[in-house]
Amino acid sequence: MIKLVIFDLDGTLVNAYPAVTKSVNHTLKAMGFAPRSRLEVKRSVGGGDRKLMAHFVGEKSVPEAIAIYRPHHAKALRQKGGVTLMPGAVGVLKFLKARGCKLAIASNRPTKFTRIILKESGILKFFDAVLCADRVSRPKPHPDILWTIARRLRFELSEVLYVGDMTIDVLCARQAGVMMAAVSTGSSHKKELKALKPLCVIGKITQLRKLFQEVLN
């Protein structure tokens, strides 16, 4: 029986790609690089902001890029349209809480930005734990972040379901030894997710209800 559901954030519960794209292009412009499309940015997120910027400016320029990116991003996340909830996300969180599940966030974003998103979108209150890559030794796809959450909340790995939108999320769950539901609303295509054979691949977060009612009941 699943007692703890851990969620990725970007592409899973929220759409923060507008804010990320705005901050990436602000940084690129300041450093003399050409702007990138939202799709290019979307396909590049997931490994944390340092890896994101390295993808566009190269490893040597990451410190300069981060110094520009982070102050801008803190503002972009709070601007109208910068972050929106995935349709039905709040209903799913309420459904899981009503079933008695504990909920947590596991994100490769820095803690500061993760908490801004959770507060701005009004869903921080649903979570019993929030853990980000800057608070563990190794980020996803390494399993540390899932192991740490399960240990803190005192659940066995067999009682955990992880929900994420990227191939690194599936790999993280596999290495951690927990069940995985992949949702194809984020950075990885459905075909890429299916190739890694998680428990299931769903097209939208609201399908978690059916998963719990029919498979994980």
Say if residue 169's pLDDT is above 80.
Answer: yes
**Looking at the chain, which residues constitute the CATH 3.40.50.1000 domain(s)?**
4-15+83-214
Strand partners, 14: 10, 85
The amino acid at residue 112 is K
Mean pLDDT, residues 130-137 = 95
User: b/e string for 178-217 if b means 16 or more Cβ within 10 A?
Assistant: bbbbbbbbbbbeeeebeebebbbbbeebbbbeebbeeebe
Q: At what angle do helices 167-176 and 144-153 cross, to 10 degrees?
A: 60
The per-residue pLDDT for 147 is 98
Please provide the CATH number assigned to the domain covering 4-15+83-214. Answer: 3.40.50.1000
What is the Cα–Cα distance from 200 to 99, expressed in whole angstroms? 20
Mean residue pLDDT across the chain = 94
Structure tokens at 211: 């998963």
Residue 70 has pLDDT above 80, yes or no: yes
* Contact partners, residue 216, CB within 8 Å, separation at least 6: 1, 2, 161
pLDDT of residue 45: 87
Q: Is the pLDDT of residue 217 over 90?
A: no
pLDDT for 5 equals: 97
CB 198 within 8 A of CB 42: no
Question: Can you give the pLDDT at residue 46?
Answer: 81
Class of domain 17-76: mainly alpha
How remote is the C-alpha of 217 from its chain's centroid?
25
Summarize pLDDT for 83-98 with one digit per residue, the tens: 999 999 999 999 999 9
Query: Where in the sequence of the chain do the CATH 1.10.150 domains occur?
Result: 17-76
For residue 121, pLDDT beyond 90:
yes
Global confidence as pTM: 0.94
Confidence of residue 12 (pLDDT cuts 50, 70, 90): very high
Gyration radius from the chain CA atoms = 17
